[in-house]
Amino acid sequence: MPDKISFAEGAEETALAAMLAEIIESNLENGGSRVKAFRNLRSAVHINAADAGVEITLEFKKGHLTVHAGKPLPPAISIEAESATLLELTNLKIKGGLPFFFDETGRGVVKKLLRGELKIKGLLRHPLELVRLTKVLSVA
Amino acid sequence: MAYTYGTDEWEQAYRELVERRLAETEKPYILGTPEWVDTYEKLVQEDAPYKEAAKSWEGSVVIHILARPEYGLERDIYMFMDLWHGDCRFIRLVPPEAGEKGDFILTGELERWEAVMSGELDVVKAMMQGKIKLKGHLPTIVRAVKAATRLVELAGQIGTRYISQLSEAEIESLKNLLATSGAQFGI
């Protein structure tokens, strides 16, 4: 089955939804481990850009992503941060198949996690899904 | 006399326009005028944090401000930034057809840009809200988000007269400038 990204009704008008879908689409076109991660993802991920008042849900189902506006289904993972921090997450490097936290961007993300400026629910219950998500979102 | 963009004559005449207006115009400059753009260019060219953040950046960025006739902005403004590996080769106003050829075009209404440049609105937030729209390869600009953010911060460092706050007389003056520069330079 070809990898596919689609928008639920009304989601395409949400800029954050369109941006993340474009990033993921571009990563899939580039191939490699990101495609494998995309095909293995099978969770709903809620992303809330709190300062922008924009929230979306990415519903992954083994090679198919549906992007929703808002939070229409219960997510396994929930990420809340300011807009700029969400973009920092997409700049995390992947090394050895894992997110790399030892450069400036990685350290910045860890600091924000510790300070509560980046909130991730499901971090401990779904660590593998979170790694896969980081891979499909990473532009670094 | 009307000049053709891309020719030496256009370049020279545009430079003369900038020099004349820098000499004649009192600060703070009005956003998007040739003297404002020239000031911005110098700031970016001399900024070490920008150079560091943008050292791998390749490509032109265009700030596209949509027309707002009620404030005297009767045509769209295209501010073209030729950026390469941390260097800012130039920033200038260009005709729409040249602006539309930029690698990355950031488009927004006047009030949005004024809010971004005055620091009231974060540019990333504005993009996520759809208030500023990007045309171009998104992952590339996301990779360079620090450089992009620094460019916006620098714009905020210029003492600026915002178009939406101009007096009637200033609006008339802006209209005249746009009419003249439109006829001569297509900008």
Contact check, Cβ <8 Å, B138/A15: no
Q: Cβ(B118)–Cβ(B159) under 8 Å?
A: no
pLDDT tens digits for A98-140? 899 999 999 999 999 999 999 999 999 999 999 999 999 999 8
Number of domains forming the structure of chain A: 1
Local confidence band at A2 (pLDDT 50, 70, 90 cut-offs): low
Contact check, Cβ <8 Å, B139/A19: no
A29 has pLDDT over 80: yes
Which phi and psi angles does A13 have, rounded to 5°?
A: -75, -15
Distance between A23 CA and the closest CA of chain B, angstroms: 6
Contact check, Cβ <8 Å, B122/A83: yes
pLDDT tens digits for B74-87? 999 999 999 999 99
> How high is the pLDDT of residue A32?
87
Q: Is A32 on the interface with B (CB under 8 A)?
A: no
pLDDT tens digits for B30-66? 999 999 999 999 999 999 999 999 999 999 999 999 9
A72 has pLDDT over 70: yes
Contact check, Cβ <8 Å, B130/A15: yes
What range does the domain containing A101 cover?
A: 4-137
Contact check, Cβ <8 Å, B129/A52: yes
Local confidence band at A62 (pLDDT 50, 70, 90 cut-offs): confident
Count of positions (residues) in chain A: 140
> How high is the pLDDT of residue A31?
84
> How high is the pLDDT of residue A140?
86
> How high is the pLDDT of residue A1?
52
B1 has pLDDT over 90: no
> How high is the pLDDT of residue A3?
75
Strands A118-121 and B29-30: unpaired
Give the pair of three-digit tokens for residue A115.
């300070």
Distance between A108 CA and the closest CA of chain B, angstroms: 13
Which phi and psi angles does A61 have, rounded to 5°?
A: -140, 85
Helical ranges in chain B per DSSP H: 8-24, 34-45, 48-53, 96-99, 110-117, 123-128, 138-143, 145-157, 168-185
Mean pLDDT computed over A28-36 = 91
At residue B155, the 3 state secondary structure works out as helix
Which chain A residue has its CA at the smallest distance from B132's CA? A15
> How high is the pLDDT of residue B135?
96
How many helices (H) and strands (E) would you count in chain B? 9, 7
Strands B160-161 and B29-30: parallel
Q: Is B153 on the interface with A (CB under 8 A)?
A: no
Mutant choice from B142, B143, B145, B149 vs A, greatest count of A C-beta within 10 A: B142
Closest alpha carbon to A71 in A63, A83, A80, A62: A80
- CATH number of the domain at A25, please: 3.30.1050.10
Which phi and psi angles does B19 have, rounded to 5°?
A: -60, -40
pLDDT tens digits for B118-169? 999 999 999 999 999 999 999 999 999 999 999 999 999 999 999 999 999 9
Domains and CATH numbers, chain B: 8-185 (3.30.1050.10)
pLDDT tens digits for B92-131? 999 999 999 999 999 999 999 999 999 999 999 999 999 9
What is the C-alpha separation between A22 and A11, in angstroms, rounded? Answer: 13
Q: Cβ(B106)–Cβ(B134) under 8 Å?
A: yes
Distance between B125 CA and the closest CA of chain A, angstroms: 5
Chain A contacts of B107, Cβ < 8 Å?
Answer: none
Q: Is B137 on the interface with A (CB under 8 A)?
A: yes
Q: Measured over all CA atoms, what is the biggest interatomic distance in chain B, rounded to whole angstroms? A: 44
**Number of Cβ pairs < 8 A linking chain A and chain B:** 57
Closest alpha carbon to B90 in B119, B55, B62, B49: B62
